[in-house]
Structure 1
């Protein structure tokens, strides 16, 4: 293993990894040996667990659980449990067997030689490389979990900094999909997320086939919200991928400089074969549910399956798979029928039910509503735009499927793109260094979903230096974020949003830039030009001098919006009565991921969306062509600088 460190037989981390582990994983070198011993003592007291772990593996589980002893115990219990509960993945593991040799030759999964700029391990997964008639998906995932077992024991970088995945779906066929029944997907999801101490930071899907979107949405129903937020679908746009994963890191077949796939894979295969004796020895590990204290765990408990698949006859297994496959196809067909010929994302059942009940969405009428808006737009001589179906459906949902309100909001949306160029033009992140600098401050990002299913965002005011960054760049980025969610986040559009505003870092230098004219523009653009449905806004840690500015903002808000604003001061317990503690970053007293993790993940998504911002530069209005009276800035925002009638009591 490694040398003795504090009486532990573990590898010494290089300085950058050690610093990250201390700062982000709560690792305390002075307490580490005691934590390992605590886990080892706990394992000895679990009569149902069969197997032992070396110091390095225990430390890596602790790191994967951010040194929470309870979470580590839960993950280790699941790790051993799935080894017995899922023999199709964890029994007969020998990389020297004929089937495993054939799978290794496919080069379907391997780490790339160099980490990314954030020090994270990058993996390439090439889905569908196997002939589904010859090699079962069960065996492919068996090999996958074998690889993960080696990685969690040998790759400190993947454990500490996390991993980034490039998922090439170019070879995926319906023959592969037919084997990935809902029960199969659920098993894979539970094993990956609950049984292994891996920390996926980003999953990037490329070369996606036409049927991928619907399948992707179904698979997402089994994934945790945190994982779903870290997914990015690039289609066939490699430039989009390169914004998330530097081109140089990729194999030459993907335009990179890391060398050919054959060489990269052969190096990885050599390591796996050297590790093969461990898999043979590990066959003894697992659990004996008869000895588990309390209630034994069943397949139903673990995977939501009826009965135990281990006890089914071969005929019964085939019938069950057929039933699941037919059910899966029915779901696919229902979702396809639901969206019809519209190029939109199918909503998961809970969101669709909500949209029908609360937003007056009628799937039978939806296509005609979209067409009605599209035809209306074509008749508006002053509007220069050709929105896709997804944008139109988002506006309809934001306006509760009122065609007239949707038309009004669309008109304002495109009008403000021309009238307020400081917010809506020159939004190319590759050309505007100041805008890029604002984005990388990580001041605005989604945290998670609250108990009512609404998206929660955190806005951290004052992260910028007011002497260097203009507030206009910050506001421009805010509207870019809103455009992103309008196009990509059905939860925000359907269920609405909750925003937590941390004002603790705000300075007078920030406040002085918020002129009344700017505040008025922000208010009009946000409330009248975007189909967002803010359900609540929570202000925390507001400095005294910000109270006047806050009242100024309120004076431009609609009454309904002001009623949804809550001021908590420094009382986070007051906030947690409205916003679940579990969704807030740990820096804000919450139980969620760190501020850095959330911000970095979201920043990568905005970079990947940059092509949309560039294309959107062309949209706007030509007031000379508007039917009737042309609109002016005074009509929209009032005379700039003249607020003589405004009182701030």
Structure 2
């Protein structure tokens, strides 16, 4: 990312001021995240921000009632870990579900806590990598999840992550994939663009990751040299709790759909995956 993007940030801020439906609470650091994810393209950044803010207003199931102290969200936090590790030029983002019996699994609560983590990462995590490597730990994923999941909503959510989040997706790895992972994958694959499917790989165990990612960048839970991802996940939740006031604001970064021009569609792809770095 260029050292000085002040002019670009100001350009985006001027654009936001002219769009009555878009929020005015995105700070400069957050705007820089979007600019970086869209490779400095102002037009792609505008589309990405519009998608981001509009979808937050549309997905009320996961963008309202976000008190991190709420018992249901504390439960969701307790069975998930999110962690971030930096390589020479990339950022590794890991998500793990740890609820083998699925006794505590509540679909919307898990998506909600995921987005709370994402918001904290967007607002406070100072990392501008060349690309993002996403690792999804599938060890607790099973066919028993299907009745508990709104598949169509989850498909929309995946598209939102690809089109609206300020990330440069480089690779997606599913680890600890069960033998029947293809049946689970088939439920969401139709919603995933072909170019994204090409960068998705599945591995039966975490040791297999060592073939594609240097062990020094992987957490100790994966046989790597980096610090524990579960401890990092707990640390992130503590930080989120200290920012409770931020998450009590249900209007944070949301578009006002009543003021959104009907001609202003939100299906356009953002630069964050139109220009995927595919190895």
Q: Same fold (TM over 0.5)?
A: yes
* Residues 312-327 of structure 1 aligned to structure 2 (within 5 Å): none
Q: Superposition RMSD on alpha carbons, in Å?
A: 2.6
Tell me how far 1:285 sits from its aligned partner: 4.2
Q: Which residue of 2 aligns with 1:289?
A: 257
Q: Which residue of 2 aligns with 1:222?
A: 191
- Residue 155 of structure 1 is aligned with which of 100, 116, 125? 125
For residues 438-496 of structure 1, give each alpha carbon's deviation from its aligned partner in whole angstroms, at most 9, with x where no partner exists: xxxxxxxxxxxxxxxxxxxxxxxxxxxxxxxxxxxxxxxxxxxxxxxxxxxxxxxxxxx
Matched, 1:145 2:118: no
Structure 2: 5+ residue runs without aligned partners? 268-272
With over 3 angstroms needed to count, the CA separation of the structure-2 counterparts of 1:43 and 1:243, relative to structure 1, is same
Matched, 1:69 2:42: yes
Counterpart CA distance in 2 for 1:55 and 1:260 is: 31
Tell me how far 1:48 sits from its aligned partner: 1.7
Q: Is the 8 A contact 1:128 1:176 kept in 2?
A: no
* Residues 431-446 of structure 1 aligned to structure 2 (within 5 Å): none
The structure whose residues are more often helix, as a share, is 1
- The structure with the largest alpha-carbon Rg is 1
For residues 578-633 of structure 1, give each alpha carbon's deviation from its aligned partner in whole angstroms, at most 9, with x where no partner exists: xxxxxxxxxxxxx9638xx33xx2xxxxxxxxxxxxxxxxxxxxxxxxxxxxxxxx
* Residues 144-183 of structure 1 aligned to structure 2 (within 5 Å): 144-157=114-127, 159-183=128-152
Q: Which residue of 2 aligns with 1:352?
A: none
Matched, 1:249 2:249: no
Q: Which residue of 2 aligns with 1:517?
A: none
With over 3 angstroms needed to count, the CA separation of the structure-2 counterparts of 1:180 and 1:155, relative to structure 1, is same
Tell me how far 1:198 sits from its aligned partner: 1.2
Q: Which residue of 2 aligns with 1:593?
A: 275
Q: Which residue of 1 aligns with 2:270?
A: none
Aligned-partner SS, 2:61: helix
Structure 1: 5+ residue runs without aligned partners? 1-20, 22-26, 303-590, 602-649
* Residues 33-52 of structure 1 aligned to structure 2 (within 5 Å): 33-52=6-25
Matched, 1:275 2:243: yes
Q: Is the 8 A contact 1:48 1:288 kept in 2?
A: yes
- Residue 127 of structure 1 is aligned with which of 97, 106, 130? 97
Q: Is the 8 A contact 2:94 2:135 kept in 1?
A: yes
For residues 496-520 of structure 1, give each alpha carbon's deviation from its aligned partner in whole angstroms, at most 9, with x where no partner exists: xxxxxxxxxxxxxxxxxxxxxxxxx
Q: Which residue of 2 aligns with 1:53?
A: 26
Higher relative contact order (CA 8 A, sep 6+): 2
* Between 88-97 and 120-129, the greater mean CA deviation after superposition: 120-129
Counterpart CA distance in 1 for 2:274 and 2:55 is: 26
Q: Is the 8 A contact 2:131 2:169 kept in 1?
A: yes
Counterpart CA distance in 2 for 1:130 and 1:148 is: 24
Aligned-partner SS, 1:219: helix
Equivalenced residues, count: 274
For residues 272-307 of structure 1, give each alpha carbon's deviation from its aligned partner in whole angstroms, at most 9, with x where no partner exists: 22333222235354223232223476xxx86xxxxx
Counterpart CA distance in 2 for 1:592 and 1:193 is: 10
Counterpart CA distance in 2 for 1:142 and 1:35 is: 31
With over 3 angstroms needed to count, the CA separation of the structure-2 counterparts of 1:265 and 1:285, relative to structure 1, is closer
Tell me how far 1:76 sits from its aligned partner: 1.0
